[in-house]
Chains A and B, each alone.
Chain A
Amino acid sequence: DAKTTQPNSMESNEEEPVHLPCNHSTISGTDYIHWYRQLPSQGPEYVIHGLTSNVNNRMASLAIAEDRKSSTLILHRATLRDAAVYYCILRHSTYSGAGSYQLTFGKGTKLSVIP
């Protein structure tokens, strides 16, 4: 089964870029990489997802290594509101029916933003 490894914690200064790494060396060819974040006392919030190519949206960018064994979530300018736990998640299609999948969660990286 695929596994994801993330650093337990990271710090960033406000208004500086943040690079949050995720290692998924056992990823299979059809596994999608998802990122969610969880602010204190809230449910997780979708950030971004991708398969092979780098992806950008209004919240962040996702850089996926060419061999797909790692990925990096990039917050371009950290704000205090970005302080949260960031989860790297693999979604593996199981082909046992339409829309069937398994999920592998990382333990999450707690990001602290210093004013």
Chain B
Amino acid sequence: KAGVTQTPRYLIKTRGQQVTLSCSPISGHRSVSWYQQTPGQGLQFLFEYFSETQRNKGNFPGRFSGRQFSNSRSEMNVSTLELGDSALYLCASSLGLADDEQFFGPGTRLTVL
């Protein structure tokens, strides 16, 4: 069974640009969550999508948005990039909404110059 896949794995952008990251969940999983990981702030929860609707949200500005498609694949968008957005962005999938066990992908390393 294939795991969670994230594309691209590495990305370099400049301040002010926008970026879209993609996540394909494990087959049959309907929930996708996104996390940001930085050396300073550690792991932080961005949001969770289930049935194409955002169900839970962390404490991030509106520049961070996402969506989920009918096949459960999800995208995360960050607009007007700032230097502080440089981070590892992790996607996790689970069978249902708010499941205790989530399965993480390898992450997308975003560098903002």
Q: Which of A43, A87, A107 has the most CB of B within 10 A?
A: A43
Q: How many residues of B contact A (CB 8 A)?
A: 21
A99 and B104 in contact (CB under 8 A), knowing A105-B43, A105-B44?
A: no
Chain A interface size, under 10 / 10 to 19 / 20 to 34 / 35 or more = 20 to 34
Binds B, one of A11-19, A44-52, A67-75: A44-52
- Whether the pair B90, A43 counts as a contact (CB closer than 8 A) is yes
Please pick, from B50, B100, B105, the residue contacting A34 in the complex, using a CB distance under 8 A: B100
- Whether the pair A43, B4 counts as a contact (CB closer than 8 A) is yes
Please report A residues at the B interface, Cβ cutoff 8 Å: 32, 34, 41-46, 49, 87, 91, 97-103, 105-108
Please report B residues at the A interface, Cβ cutoff 8 Å: 4, 42-45, 50, 55-56, 58, 90, 92, 97-98, 100-107
